[in-house]
Amino acid sequence: MSPAGRKITEKLSDEALADATGKGWAEWFALLDAWGAAGQGHTAIARHLVEAHGVNGWHAQSITVGYEQERGLRAVGQSSGGGWQASVSKTVAAPAERCTAAFADEELRRRWLPEGGLEVRTHRPGKSLTADWGGGAGRIAVHLTPKGEARTQIGLGHTKLPDAAAVAASKEFWRERLTALKTLLESEPPGSTG
């Protein structure tokens, strides 16, 4: 396994892909090779899968990333543009607005993210937040998905990382910090954390 994580072909089973798209990984890779996908670029490959083969957008992206990883066109944790990024998620027993406040409110944020370094750029309560990290060396994007009245999935992406080792370190760091955030939000009454 790469220090940045597992390939998408290890996360999405051949059976699940075939159930959803009618073909497994090897069949998609052979089809894309025959089409000349290696020289087409990420967007063109995904578009081809949607337009020529009727694959839905999410699976088209997954197949494209799997193909690029398998053919050595991108590494695990590397974006289609060549940059490095990490993503983590955590579901917490708290409403989405409260989760956003935990990132946006500086005083509250210090209680679960004492390391600092996060400067909020945009903030949509209960929906999303973007921030600079480490004086602008990195970028953070947080997306919130409500799971009922009082549960929220927090998805956090950290971009502008220098390499695969930084992806692995970022994943570990943010997993720990989101666990601390979960503990904070679930252990205090809503009125006490904003």
* Residues 49 and 109 grouped into a single domain: no
Task: Look at 142 and 87; give whichever has higher pLDDT.
Answer: 142
pLDDT > 90 fraction of the chain, expressed in percent and rounded: 64
Spatial CA neighbour of 145 closest among 136, 155, 157, 135: 155
Residue 193 confidence (pLDDT): 44
Based on the domain organization, do 142 and 186 belong to the same domain? yes
What pLDDT is recorded for position 81?
Answer: 76
- One domain, residues 104 and 155: yes
pLDDT at 114 (0 to 100): 84
- Say what the pLDDT of residue 53 is: 96
Domain identity same for 96 and 133: yes
pLDDT at residue 9 tops 50:
yes
Which of 128-134's residues contact partners 24+ apart within 8 Å by CB, and which partners? 128/100, 129/100, 129/103, 129/104, 131/103, 133/158
DSSP 3-state of 162: coil
Mean pLDDT across the stretch 141-160? Answer: 92
Q: Tokens for 36?
A: 């000349």
Question: Would residue 152 count as lying in a domain?
Answer: yes
pLDDT of the residue at 4:
59
Query: Which residues, including other chains, have CB under 8 Å from residue 193's CB and lie 6 or more apart?
Result: 98, 101, 102, 108, 184, 185
pLDDT single digits (tens) 134-145:
888 889 999 999
- Let me know: does 13 contact 25? Beta carbons within 8 Å: no
How far CA 29 is from CA of 7, 10, 109, in Å, comes to 15, 15, 45
Q: Answer yes or no: are the C-beta atoms of 142 and 155 closer than 8 Å.
A: yes
Are 58 and 110 in the same domain? Answer: no
Does pTM top 0.85 for this prediction? no
Number of domains in the chain: 2
Q: Is residue 90 part of a domain?
A: yes
Does any domain span residue 32?
A: yes
Is residue 111, in this structure, part of any structural domain at all?
Answer: yes
Q: Do residues 50 and 129 share a domain?
A: no
Q: Give the residue among 78, 96, 92 at the shortest CA–CA distance from 146.
A: 96
**Do 100 and 42 share a domain, yes or no?**
no
| 54 and 132 co-located in one domain | no
The reply to whether 185 and 96 lie within a common domain is yes
pLDDT, residue 134, reads: 86
Domain of residue 91, CATH code:
3.30.530.20
Question: Does the CA dihedral 178-181-183-186 come out positive or negative?
Answer: negative
144: containing domain = 84-192
Q: Residue 100 is inside which H or E element, if any?
A: helix 96-104
User: Each residue of 45-64: pLDDT tens digit?
Assistant: 999 999 999 998 889 989 99
In tens, the pLDDT along 101-134 reads 999 999 999 999 987 689 999 999 999 999 999 8
